[in-house]
Amino acid sequence: MDAAISCCEGWSEPQVENFITYLNKHKHRIVNYGYLQAEGISIGSGDLESKIKQIAHRLKITGASWESGNVPQVLRHRCAYLNGCLE
């Protein structure tokens, strides 16, 4: 982020000044994708969207008797299991 700002310093065009102002104002919200990728942290939504489709499919399979009120608790247990929080 700082490198992008420093590359633009000295330019007097309004668009460049607006860009620098935007970066400085929103610096705390802009994600450092290079860092996340280097750490192996997923930055895409494809995996999550796939999991949602799998869950939706499992809720609708023939013979399953899911009550919609129980789904949040089942998902919390599944997340806890996948994160190693359950023995």
- Which of 5-9, 13-17, 39-43 has the largest mean confidence? 13-17
Give alpha helix (H) positions in 31-70.
Answer: 33-38, 46-60
Gap between the Cα atoms of 8 and 18, Å rounded: 11
More confident residue, 16 or 33: 16
Tell me, yes or no, if the pTM score tops 0.75.
no
pLDDT tens per residue, range 23-53:
999 888 888 888 888 898 877 788 888 888 8
13, 19, 24, 43, 75 from 78: Cα distances, Å? 53, 43, 40, 21, 5
Cα angle 68, 71, 83 (rounded to 5 degrees) comes to: 170
Closest to 1 measured CA to CA, from 69, 22, 15: 22
